[in-house]
């Protein structure tokens, strides 16, 4: 974060230096730059925003995806708990078998039991890693789909609005002031939900 602010500060300093040079050099380039600045000033430069928390709370597609992810996570945890319970039961069975044999337990019996338990542990670890990887992949895909859906909708929405930027707002991140006049959250949620119902 510190590097980004340093880079932005250096960039701003360089741009100020260039503007200072162009302003006082008396070049024809100065007129060109100032003409472009005047044109930009005459054109309305509007920035809108939408509240990411509200979008997540009221966009039906997002809520459905969240529900699916919760079910998937619950299913994953149930499977892992079942595997763990099987392991624990097998440990108890092997301990009971070894105790029943008493002095008749051979080193081969102990080695066989250890190998079986190690295999079960390894299978558990591999299955857990596989399920978590699948869960993460699904989450990334869902977020990418959500982002693309919002971007596509905003492109259409902005054809009649003329905003230069439409930013997402999340409390505590980057934006320190927002004017509710430029809040398009309601329009975005309404439009996205209508679009989702049609699908």
- The percentage of the chain sitting over the pLDDT mark of 90, rounded to a whole number, equals 56
Contact 196, 65 (CB under 8 A): no
3-state secondary structure the chain: CHHHHHHHHHHHHHHHHHHHHHHHHCCHHHHHHHHHHHHHHHCCCCEEEEEHHHHHHHCHHHHHHHHHHHHHHHHHHHHHHHHHHHHHHHHHHHHHHHHHHHHHCCHHHHHHHHHHHHHHHHHHHHHHHHHHHHHHHHHHHHHHHHHHHHHHHHHHHHCCCCCCEEEEECCCCCCCCCCHHHECHHHHHHHHHHHHHHC
Distance CA 183, CA 169 (A): 10
Residue 35: its pLDDT value, please?
54
pLDDT at 5: 57
pLDDT of 132-155, one tens digit each? 999 999 999 999 999 999 999 999
Q: Which residue has the higher pLDDT, 31 or 92?
A: 92
Considering 28-32, 92-96, 116-120, the range whose residues carry the highest mean pLDDT is 116-120
**Where is pLDDT greater, at 87 or 4?**
87
Q: How confident is the model at residue 125 (pLDDT cuts 50, 70, 90)?
A: very high
**What's residue 99's pLDDT?**
84
Cα(137)–Cα(154) distance, integer angstroms: 26
Q: What is the mean predicted confidence (pLDDT) over 76-103?
A: 90
Name residue, tokens 């079942």.
82
CATH number of 44-198: 3.30.910.20
Domain boundaries, the chain: 1-43, 44-198
């Amino acid at each position: 974060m510190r590097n980004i602010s340093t880079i932005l500060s250096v960039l701003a300093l360089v741009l100020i230096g260039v503007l200072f040079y162009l302003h006082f050099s008396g070049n024809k380039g100065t007129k060109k730059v100032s003409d472009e600045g005047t044109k930009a000033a005459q054109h309305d430069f509007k920035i809108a925003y939408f509240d990411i928390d509200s979008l997540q709370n009221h966009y039906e597609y997002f809520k459905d995806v969240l529900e699916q992810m919760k079910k998937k996570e619950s299913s994953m945890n149930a499977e892992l708990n079942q595997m763990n319970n099987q392991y624990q039961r097998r440990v108890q069975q092997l301990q009971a078998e070894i105790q029943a044999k008493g002095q008749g337990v051979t080193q081969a019996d102990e080695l066989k039991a250890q190998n079986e338990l190690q295999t079960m542990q390894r299978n558990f670890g591999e299955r857990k890693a596989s399920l978590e990887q699948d869960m993460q992949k699904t989450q990334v895909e869902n977020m990418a789909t959500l982002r693309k859906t919002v971007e596509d909708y905003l492109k259409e929405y902005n054809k009649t609005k003329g905003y230069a930027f439409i930013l997402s707002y999340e409390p505590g991140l980057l934006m320190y002031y927002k004017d509710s006049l430029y809040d398009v959250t309601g329009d975005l949620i309404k439009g996205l939900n209508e679009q989702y119902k049609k699908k």
